[in-house]
């Protein structure tokens, strides 16, 4: 268990929330009649031993997820939906036994694979009340990492929007069959097979990544897990130097600026301008993220009271008296395939002591239009925009 001890030391130092994936194939055997199908009950003794050791050491686990990419047609292996639901109940009972205090009891997650409507509906319907705390699914909507079309896809708003149906379908399935649960994206790296070389660790990938975070929130998903912190082309950190790649800073700004309450926002302009809005992470106010997928077009956004909104007066108040806080992310030399990202024109680089640089906003007159440069991403917080949902 030395490796587990070392990992938990790292988790403690970084204050990470830990989800541990359990092997769902232990105890089963391959079907003699159906290729890739595994049959039989899940053998939980191995998980029990791990939990017993983990508890004895005082290690904190946020959640346990059963299996990896075994739902639907599976990836190399699969399990029938009703059998999986039965095994989830076994895991839930085990967690309740090992962690009897409801306040510190880890959540139970599954199935951790690609969405398949028939399989997910059957699984959720058979799982039983309050068994599954988080319904997890994976997203790799950009295709294989060696796809030569990858750079075009991350800039194509029509392609990026296609995956919204999956988010919507998962959310609807939970509302129908497991309303006590919540939707999680428990793994997503955009492009599978380790991501796209010369693409996934560059500024360009932020178009896809931050759009995913926005879409995840809009469709009532609770958690989004990026593949990966380190390892593969889609790592948030350079796999040899551990220097942050551009998406690390995008994720960090999202964490610091965007709150947990999601607001509805639309615009009637170009589809190449993507926009999402939340209550500000630190009250008061609201925050936006603007994603400009266009190579040649910049945008200016005016905020104002729309007295014709829904046929009546707006239910918010925008004064514009306070300066806006703006964080504009652009690629070095305007090259979206650069692995160097600029914040308000300054390259984000580690200090001599390897500390993350301070992420300072640019303060802008609140009554001026918001300017979004071509091929850029901007986080904007407006402190004197009073939305009832944020009060």
Please give the biggest Cα pair distance in the chain: 72
Strands 107-113 and 134-139: parallel
What integer is the mean pLDDT of 220-243? Answer: 97
The boundaries of every CATH 3.20.20.80 domain in the chain are 2-258
Dist CA 193 CA 249 (whole Å): 23
Query: Of 71, 54, 62, 232, nearest to 137 (Cα)?
Result: 71
Per-residue pLDDT of 102-123, as tens digits, reads 999 999 999 999 999 999 999 9
Q: Tokens for 18? A: 């830990």
Dist CA 201 CA 245 (whole Å): 6
Q: How many Å separate Cα 323 from the centre of its chain? A: 30
Specify the CATH number of the domain 2-258.
3.20.20.80
pLDDT higher than threshold 80 for residue 320: no
pLDDT higher than threshold 60 for residue 101: yes
Q: What is the CA radius of gyration of the chain?
A: 22
> Which of 65, 187, 325, 326 is the catalytic position?
187
pLDDT higher than threshold 80 for residue 317: no
According to DSSP H, which parts of 186-268 are helical?
Answer: 205-218, 246-257
> Which of 65, 69, 325, 326 is the catalytic position?
69
Dist CA 216 CA 226 (whole Å): 12
Second-level CATH architecture of 273-390 = Sandwich (2.60)
Q: Tokens for 91? A: 């895991």
Q: Tokens for 203? A: 């500024």
Share of the chain above pLDDT 70, in %: 97
The boundaries of every CATH 2.60.40.1180 domain in the chain are 273-390
Dist CA 173 CA 176 (whole Å): 5
Residue with tokens 């990202």: 341
Query: Of 298, 299, 289, 318, nearest to 380 (Cα)?
Result: 289
Per-residue pLDDT of 164-216, as tens digits, reads 999 999 999 999 999 999 999 999 999 999 999 999 999 999 999 999 999 99
Per-residue pLDDT of 277-308, as tens digits, reads 999 999 999 999 999 999 999 999 987 656 56
69 included as an active-site residue: yes
* 292 Cβ neighbours under 8 A, 6+ residues apart: 272, 273, 274, 298, 299, 372, 373, 374, 375, 376, 377, 378
325 included as an active-site residue: no
pLDDT higher than threshold 80 for residue 354: yes
Dist CA 142 CA 159 (whole Å): 9
Query: Of 181, 178, 201, nearest to 189 (Cα)?
Result: 201
Per-residue pLDDT of 7-55, as tens digits, reads 999 999 999 999 999 999 999 999 999 999 999 999 999 999 999 999 9
pLDDT higher than threshold 70 for residue 260: yes
> What's the whole-model pTM score?
0.96
Distances (CA, A) of 207 to 61, 154, 201, 291, 360: 32, 6, 12, 7, 21
pLDDT of residue 319: 75
According to DSSP H, which parts of 99-202 are helical?
Answer: 117-127, 150-154, 157-162, 164-177
* 56 Cβ neighbours under 8 A, 6+ residues apart: none
């Amino acid at each position: 268990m030395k490796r587990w001890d070392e990992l938990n030391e790292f988790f403690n130092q970084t204050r990470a929330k830990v989800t541990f994936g359990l092997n769902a194939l232990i105890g089963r055997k391959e079907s003699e009649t159906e290729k890739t199908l595994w049959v039989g009950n899940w053998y939980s003794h191995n998980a029990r031993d791990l939990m017993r050791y983990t508890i004895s050491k005082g290690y904190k686990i946020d959640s346990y997820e059963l299996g990896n990419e075994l739902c639907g047609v599976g990836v190399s292996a699969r399990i029938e939906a009703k059998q999986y639901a039965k095994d989830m109940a076994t895991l839930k009972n085990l967690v309740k036994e090992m962690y009897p205090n409801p306040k510190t009891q880890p959540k139970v997650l599954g199935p951790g694979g690609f969405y398949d409507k028939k399989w997910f509906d059957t699984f959720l319907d058979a799982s039983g009340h309050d068994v599954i705390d988080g319904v997890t699914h994976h997203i790799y909507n950009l295709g294989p990492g060696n796809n030569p079309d990858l750079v075009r896809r991350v800039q194509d708003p029509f392609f990026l929007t296609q995956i919204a149906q999956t988010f919507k379908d998962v959310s609807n399935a939970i509302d129908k069959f497991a309303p006590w649960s919540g939707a999680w994206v428990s793994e997503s790296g955009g492009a599978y097979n380790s991501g796209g070389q010369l693409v996934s660790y560059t500024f360009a990938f932020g178009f896809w990544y931050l759009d995913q975070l926005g879409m995840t929130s809009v469709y009532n998903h609770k958690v989004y897990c990026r593949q990966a912190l380190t390892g593969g082309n889609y790592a948030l950190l350079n796999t040899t130097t551990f220097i942050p790649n551009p998406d690390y800073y995008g994720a960090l700004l999202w964490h610091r600026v965007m709150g947990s309450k999601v607001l509805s926002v639309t615009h009637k302009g170009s589809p190449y301008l993507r926009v999402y809005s939340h209550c500000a992470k630190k009250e008061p106010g609201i925050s936006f993220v603007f994603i400009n997928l266009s190579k040649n077009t910049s945008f200016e956004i005016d905020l104002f009271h729309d007295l014709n909104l829904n046929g009546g007066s707006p239910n918010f108040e925008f004064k514009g008296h306070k300066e806006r806080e703006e964080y504009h992310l652009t690629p070095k030399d305007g090259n979206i395939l650069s692995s160097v990202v600029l914040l308000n024109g300054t390259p984000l680089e580690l200090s001599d002591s390897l500390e993350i640089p301070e992420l300072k906003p640019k303060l802008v007159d609140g009554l001026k239009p918001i300017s979004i440069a071509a091929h850029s991403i901007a986080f904007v917080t407006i402190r004197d925009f009073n939305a009832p949902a944020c009060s």
